[in-house]
Structure 1
Amino acid sequence: MKLVIGILLGSSAGLAAAATGQAADLSHRNAASIEYVRTCSAYGGGFFYIPGTETCLQISGRARYEAGYMAPGSRQVPGAGDTFQSRGQLRINFDARTETANGTLRAFLRADLADRSGPFLASGTQQRIANAFPGVGQDTFGRVQNFVVADKAFVQFAGLTAGRASSFFDFYAHDFEIVGATLGSNVPSTNVLAYTATLNEDVSLTLAIEDPIFRKNPLYAQTGSPSQGIGTAAVSTQFTTAPTPVIVSRDAAGAVTGVTQIDAVQRSRMPDFVSALRYDAAWGSAQVSAAMKDINVGGPLGATFLDSSAASRIPTGAFVGAQTTYGWALQGGLQVNTPFIAPGDSFYLQGAYGEGAAIYTGYTAFSGTYTNQSAPFAGGLFSQWLADAVVSPTTGRIELSNSFTVVGSYLHYWAPEWRSAFFGSYGEMRFPSHLRPELSSIGVASGALQNGTTTYPTANLITAAPGTFGFSLNSVLRDTYQVVTGASLIWSPVKDLDIGAEAVYSKVGLLSGRALRADRSAPAGANIFTVTQQDTFQARFRVQRDF
């Protein structure tokens, strides 16, 4: 019996050994080799090699919460009265780089998504440029908004930048601010094709073509109704063909007898041309940038409005057809590191001037962009006009507005974990002085034009004659100024965590004269209420984690 058991155990051991040997042989022949993720140190921390490639990738992101308070002008103005606002935001970044014989090949991607409420965290500017979409309920319209944008998606190689990236015109782009309310150019993303030449170790020159839509502020236009009343400024509701009037005939006494409407919507006809000369050194940076953009209008919309006896008096040479002119802007900026005050301290100073280029000078940064006029804040007492240009009703020619801005910002570290920013800006915007009287003559000198038994409205937002209260108190196309100033305090208890707050004061005023208050009305013969400026205060709290 012992012999049988021994034979069986021996056979089993032999079979097990044979099986183990075969399994070992099989594993040796068929198992794939394991490739571990390798750290890539060529481009700084956080990069690793994508397995199977020589491309280094960095993945980073951000989570942010913000809450804010903003004092409204008056709830008597429709849509005003909100004070509290909040936002939750996520950001994800991918940075891929590969070394080649011609230098680094880079692709950078960034997506931003946010859910936000309140009249200012829910940005009308971003909604008008299609980066956000609104809630549509009675209590949510204008108060709830989702922000979804492909913020960055560009390729860089051998001096070429192509894709969606920050504008090369910009320099100080609200770098030290939470609210980002100071005046100055800051278009976070545009579609761009650029070439940057390195002139020496410190100096570079960039030439770029950028998408024109992201820098077009509308021309003066109106809804088509002349009965707006003094102090009221309607927003054009005709977004495909916004009308603006041009006089085509007058009678022997000079009264207007014929008016046509020109299509004031700007078409996308050519890119913006941008150049930037930049100097970077250990002490800081300096940049001079320039931009040129086209401004265009179309021809008449529908029939010309004519008095029945005016057909023979249409002046020769009156130009009312499609046309193009060019706006431009210049900007200079200086950034200086000041470690001799405290490690990490830095100072920015920037100024810009432009004609027909309000977004390039950044005059629209606080009040709102992609609109020809806006209340500077909810419950604003009068509308601020921001049009890049106006079509003269007398000549039919495009005439440009001009604007300038200056901004300064200082970042100071009280301690490694505590820092503050102090900032302020000032700007002005002006229109050719003859345009308001010309526009008023359309609605005043002739009233509603007659053609036989048909009455045609003389669409215009200025309905009173020069020298009257109605003319002087109307806010349409008035020259304005803006002041924005503020400060912040931020605590970073651990690396890449910011907890802080910022307070901002903003004021918009008329450079001359007064305007009727939009929140007050008075019966005929009663006292009227006027204003020369409007201001507001806002505060914002932020918790942000970057990784």
Structure 2
Amino acid sequence: MSLSNRFLLLGSTAAFATIGAAHAADLPVKKAEPVEYVRVCTTHGVAFFYIPGTDTCLRISGRTRFEGNYQTNYSRQTGTGDTSGYRGLLRFNFDARTRTEYGTLRALVRLDAGSRTGLIHSGTQLRIGHSYAATGVDEAGRAQQHVNVDKAFIQFGGLTAGRAASYFDFYAHDFEIYGATSGSDTSSTNLLAYTATIGNGFSTTLSLEDPVYRRTPVFAPYATTATTPVGPVFVGYADGLPSLYGTIDSIQRSRLPDFVGALRVEQDWGTAQLSAATHEINVGNLSTAPAEGTGGVITGIAHTHSVQGWAVQGGVKVNAPFIALGDALYLQGAYGDGTQNYVGYCMIAGCYAQANTGFGGQKFAQYFADASINPFTGQLQTSTSFSAVASYLHYWSPEWRSTLFGSYGEQDFSAGARLAQGAAYSLVSPNGAVAFGANAVGVPGTRFYRLSQALRDSYQYVVGASLIWSPVRDLDIGVEGFYTQVGVKSGRVIDSDKSPTAYTNVAAINAGTFVPRTATQDSVSQIRLRVQRDF
């Protein structure tokens, strides 16, 4: 190709390129949508980000945990014999906050779920509907799935509404792995509360809280049938003489919320709180079907009036940076009348039960009933309880820390309450021939009455320690061990482990032909391992 032809080809190509560019410039150009990247929100702390398209900041966090447990056990009676157990736990937190002209609007949701096997299974969680258990012959009751809406509340100004921790609580096992000590620890309840800030670190709270999560069943010694109420035999009078009339429906009704008040101070030296609560005990009516012998005019039948139980608690947390950075000491004490769950006496054995055994093969049950119904007057007779706890956290280094903790508690029933139940029992079964099981009080003055476990005043104490290693941030690898002793405050009780048939041989015990084994106390040691990652 000649040089002139080459110049002609290049010129033609350039012309076409210019024309193409001119036409392209006339076409409409669609702009790309702007990319809205997630923006960091620093207004409410670390790890918050703006939800795209809103002015709400959100933090997503969670937890995973493994636990293994071992405890001493000396029995292979039915339902006991486990010495080990395991648990896996997951948790998701969603914390949403928005700045408003009235202050911060906050919503927090926390979901917990877990899988428990062997020794780590909870009758407490089953009773309040937080767990469901396996039914297979080799897994029955010893494999559980646990699901709980642990938190779901709204905060706006001083208002808190939803599912949150009770404002009565203070220590709430803050430094413990298992949570073995006595003391109130209701981390999930439904409430409506208002907190007013006074100044200089002081605040006061009034909270209306769900009474269901603070109930302990009213003492009900005699079960009737699955379709009729469960409660104590009520004694009316026929022709001027005591006569068995029927039972009282001891299932509690919901009428009033629990009223909780707290005065709190938080300053550099630490935190202190004074709490108080009222709790209504409100049972049903006398059944209409007489039990026997009503061949006369029944008189003296009194309606069971509700009563208001109450509880008070005081606690202090003292920071001790002069010993080591992060060190702190908790001291807490509580007293209650008809409010055992606020005192937290049931923590190691398991709450929401009339009576319970906290470890396999326990020789006798502790009774946690907030009240009993006098079978002659029909009126509630409340129990009293108290607890005291101390816990000290010490940092040996930034990676190593340990806790030393202990508690002591008691629960008492009036002598009149137990005597009245025994008098009613004497009408039901004068010689003990009718077996009413472990809840039977017995006929006053008999050997069985002196040895039966029902409505016996009891005590318990716990001592323990833990050691936790945190090699990196938000990872804990720890072990905790503790010793628990429970006992009756006076006299002796039947050892249900060594004499499992005693409560079906009442007449033989009173006649002296059957001498059951007895005990004054029982104890257990436990060790728990935990590996936990927060993120």
Deviation at 1:240, TM superposition (A): 7.9
Deviation at 1:441, TM superposition (A): 2.0
1:210 aligned residue: 209
- Residue 268 (structure 1) aligned with residue 246 (structure 2): no
Pick aligned residue for 1:357 from 331, 334, 339: 339
Percent of aligned pairs sharing the same letter = 48
1:473 aligned residue: 451
1:233 aligned residue: none
Residue 285 of structure 1 aligns with an amino acid whose one-letter code is T
Secondary structure of the corresponding residue to residue 213 of structure 2: helix
**Deviation string for 1:278-314 (max 9, x for gaps)?**
00001100000110011011112241224255x14x3
Cα gap change, 1:96 to 1:15, in 2 (>3 Å):
farther
Cα gap change, 1:442 to 1:344, in 2 (>3 Å):
same
1:10 aligned residue: 14
Asked whether the 8 Å contact 2:271–2:316 carries over to 1, the reply is yes
Pick aligned residue for 1:486 from 464, 486, 496: 464
Q: Report which structure shows greater RCO (CA 8 Å, sep ≥6).
A: 1
The separation in 2 between residues aligned to 1:204 and 1:380, in whole angstroms, is: 44
Residue 506 of structure 1 aligns with an amino acid whose one-letter code is T
- Residue 241 (structure 1) aligned with residue 229 (structure 2): yes
The separation in 2 between residues aligned to 1:481 and 1:506, in whole angstroms, is: 11
2:43 aligned residue: 42
Cα gap change, 1:459 to 1:302, in 2 (>3 Å):
farther
Deviation at 1:444, TM superposition (A): 2.0
1:180 aligned residue: 179
Under a length normalisation based on structure 1, what TM-score does the superposition of the two structures give?
0.90
The separation in 1 between residues aligned to 2:191 and 2:253, in whole angstroms, is: 18
Cα gap change, 1:73 to 1:293, in 2 (>3 Å):
farther
1:230 aligned residue: none
Residue 30 of structure 2 aligns with an amino acid whose one-letter code is S
Deviation at 1:5, TM superposition (A): 4.7
Residue 57 of structure 2 aligns with an amino acid whose one-letter code is C
Which structure 2 residues correspond to residues 233-382 of structure 1 after superposition, within 5 A?
A: 238=226, 241-249=229-237, 256-307=242-293, 309=295, 311-312=296-297, 314-316=298-300, 318-319=301-302, 321-382=303-364
- Residue 126 (structure 1) aligned with residue 125 (structure 2): yes
- Residue 93 (structure 1) aligned with residue 96 (structure 2): no
The separation in 2 between residues aligned to 1:277 and 1:155, in whole angstroms, is: 21
The separation in 2 between residues aligned to 1:128 and 1:428, in whole angstroms, is: 23
- Residue 507 (structure 1) aligned with residue 510 (structure 2): no
Deviation at 1:432, TM superposition (A): 1.2
The separation in 2 between residues aligned to 1:514 and 1:473, in whole angstroms, is: 6
- Residue 59 (structure 1) aligned with residue 64 (structure 2): no
2:83 aligned residue: 83
Deviation at 1:461, TM superposition (A): 3.7
Residue 186 of structure 2 aligns with an amino acid whose one-letter code is V
The separation in 2 between residues aligned to 1:90 and 1:379, in whole angstroms, is: 31
1:430 aligned residue: 412
Secondary structure of the corresponding residue to residue 199 of structure 1: strand
Unaligned 5+ segments in structure 1 are 226-236, 450-455
Under a length normalisation based on structure 2, what TM-score does the superposition of the two structures give?
0.92
The separation in 2 between residues aligned to 1:15 and 1:414, in whole angstroms, is: 80
- Residue 115 (structure 1) aligned with residue 111 (structure 2): no
Asked whether the 8 Å contact 1:218–1:370 carries over to 2, the reply is yes
Deviation at 1:72, TM superposition (A): 2.2
What is the aligned-residue RMSD (CA, Å)? 2.4
The separation in 1 between residues aligned to 2:319 and 2:227, in whole angstroms, is: 46
Secondary structure of the corresponding residue to residue 506 of structure 1: strand
Deviation at 1:41, TM superposition (A): 1.4
The separation in 1 between residues aligned to 2:206 and 2:157, in whole angstroms, is: 14
Deviation at 1:462, TM superposition (A): 2.6
Cα gap change, 1:203 to 1:190, in 2 (>3 Å):
same
Q: Choose 280-289 or 370-379, whichever is displaced more.
A: 370-379
1:228 aligned residue: none
Asked whether the 8 Å contact 1:224–1:460 carries over to 2, the reply is no
2:377 aligned residue: 395
The separation in 1 between residues aligned to 2:66 and 2:276, in whole angstroms, is: 36
Asked whether the 8 Å contact 2:222–2:233 carries over to 1, the reply is no
Cα gap change, 1:75 to 1:11, in 2 (>3 Å):
farther
**Deviation string for 1:47-73 (max 9, x for gaps)?**
111122221111111111111111224
2:403 aligned residue: 421
The separation in 1 between residues aligned to 2:438 and 2:331, in whole angstroms, is: 41
- Residue 441 (structure 1) aligned with residue 423 (structure 2): yes
Secondary structure of the corresponding residue to residue 214 of structure 1: helix
The separation in 2 between residues aligned to 1:308 and 1:36, in whole angstroms, is: 81
Deviation at 1:21, TM superposition (A): 4.2
The separation in 2 between residues aligned to 1:411 and 1:463, in whole angstroms, is: 44
1:386 aligned residue: 368
Residue 50 of structure 1 aligns with an amino acid whose one-letter code is I
Cα gap change, 1:38 to 1:20, in 2 (>3 Å):
farther
The separation in 2 between residues aligned to 1:424 and 1:90, in whole angstroms, is: 28
Q: Choose 54-63 or 166-175, whichever is displaced more.
A: 54-63
The separation in 2 between residues aligned to 1:257 and 1:192, in whole angstroms, is: 45
**Deviation string for 1:101-152 (max 9, x for gaps)?**
1111111111111111123x22111111111111111121211111111111
Deviation at 1:445, TM superposition (A): 3.9
Residue 393 of structure 2 aligns with an amino acid whose one-letter code is L
The separation in 2 between residues aligned to 1:208 and 1:302, in whole angstroms, is: 38
Deviation at 1:447, TM superposition (A): 3.3
The separation in 2 between residues aligned to 1:461 and 1:488, in whole angstroms, is: 37
**Deviation string for 1:73-123 (max 9, x for gaps)?**
4212x200011111111111111111111111111111111111123x221
The separation in 2 between residues aligned to 1:109 and 1:326, in whole angstroms, is: 33
The separation in 2 between residues aligned to 1:412 and 1:301, in whole angstroms, is: 57
1:232 aligned residue: none
The separation in 2 between residues aligned to 1:426 and 1:484, in whole angstroms, is: 7
Secondary structure of the corresponding residue to residue 306 of structure 2: strand
1:166 aligned residue: 165
Deviation at 1:323, TM superposition (A): 2.6
Deviation at 1:38, TM superposition (A): 1.6
Residue 485 of structure 1 aligns with an amino acid whose one-letter code is V
The separation in 1 between residues aligned to 2:448 and 2:56, in whole angstroms, is: 67
Residue 202 of structure 2 aligns with an amino acid whose one-letter code is V
